[in-house]
């Protein structure tokens, strides 16, 4: 079974993020959910973005050899760790993806590290801000990358505690994620 570190989005460690973690645990996996905002649950993405500027760098060495996962803003940390930590076992990128080339890239995708990316085709952030293009580029440079695009325009659709939640799409995300983790 896989060990996963799941990083939350800008609304904090919500009950919906915890439910997503529970959905991954249902596959028998260990899932850690660090609270990067110390219990604060911002009322808006804007408030979360202001709080995110205060998040300090942490020593994540306890999670070496893990699968790194993130939802939206949490993808920034998950993807960075997956790309830079020796022994990373994979990445699950929910509703965001960073470039792997060009000016804003963290660096190249590491050889042998599988990744799965999930987002909605009309999400104003995932589709509208270039994340889907970054995901397509990633799938073009490694056969260990899988991109799943769901019909819809919701951001944070995997968070059952928010109005943007899409139960059907999230069920597919969890099914595909558990299959991914079963191979780790």
Per-residue CA distances from 150 to 15, 59, 85 (Å): 23, 34, 30
pLDDT at 56: 67
Residue 137 reports pLDDT greater than 80: yes
Residue 113 sits in which domain range? 3-182
Helix (H) / strand (E) element for 167: namely: helix 167-182
Q: What is the pLDDT of residue 59?
A: 74
Output the domain CATH number for residue 173. Answer: 3.40.50.1820
Domain count, the chain: 1
* pLDDT tens per residue, range 69-121: 999 999 999 999 999 998 999 999 999 999 998 887 888 999 999 999 999 99
């Amino acid at each position: 079974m896989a060990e996963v570190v799941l990083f939350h989005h800008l609304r904090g460690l919500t009950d919906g993020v915890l439910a997503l973690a529970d959905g991954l645990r249902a596959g028998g996996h260990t899932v850690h959910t660090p609270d990067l905002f110390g219990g604060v649950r911002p009322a808006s993405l804007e408030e979360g973005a202001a709080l995110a500027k205060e998040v300090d760098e942490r020593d994540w060495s306890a999670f070496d050899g893990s699968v790194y996962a993130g939802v939206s803003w949490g993808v920034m940390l998950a993807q960075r760790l997956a790309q830079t930590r020796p022994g990373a076992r994979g990445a699950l990128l929910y509703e965001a993806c960073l470039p792997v080339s060009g000016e804003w890239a963290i660096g190249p995708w590491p050889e042998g590290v599988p990744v799965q990316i999930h987002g909605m085709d009309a999400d104003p952030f995932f589709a509208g801000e270039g994340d889907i293009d970054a995901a397509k580029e990633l799938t073009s440079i490694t056969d260990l990358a899988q991109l799943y695009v769901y019909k819809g325009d919701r951001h944070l659709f995997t968070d059952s505690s928010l109005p943007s939640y899409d139960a059907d799409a999230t069920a597919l995300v969890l099914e595909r994620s558990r299959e991914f983790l079963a191979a780790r």
